[in-house]
Amino acid sequence: NAGVTQTPKFQVLKTGQSMTLQCAQDMNHNSMYWYRQDPGMGLRLIYYSASEGTTDKGEVPNGYNVSRLNKREFSLRLESAAPSQTSVYFCASRSGTSGFNEQFFGPGTRLTVL
Partner 1 sequence: ELKVEQNPLFLSMQEGKNYTIYCNYSTTSDRLYWYRQDPGKSLESLFVLLSNGAVKQEGRLMASLDTKARLSTLHITAAVHDLSATYFCAVDQDPSGGGADGLTFGKGTHLIIQP
Least CB distance from residue 72 to partner 1, whole Å?
Answer: 16
Comparing CB distances to partner 1, the nearer of 17 and 95 is 95
Comparing CB distances to partner 1, the nearer of 17 and 52 is 52
Least CB distance from residue 46 to partner 1, whole Å?
Answer: 9
3-state class of 39 per DSSP? coil
Comparing CB distances to partner 1, the nearer of 36 and 81 is 36
Element (H, E) at 25: strand 19-25
Residues near partner 1 (CB under 8 A) are: 30-31, 33, 35, 40-45, 48, 50-51, 58-59, 90, 94, 96-98, 100-108
Beta bridge partners of 12: 112
Q: Are 75 and 22 in contact (CB under 8 A)?
A: yes
**84-101: b or e for each residue (b if 16 or more CB lie within 10 Å)?**
ebbbebbbbbbbeeeeee
Comparing CB distances to partner 1, the nearer of 15 and 96 is 96
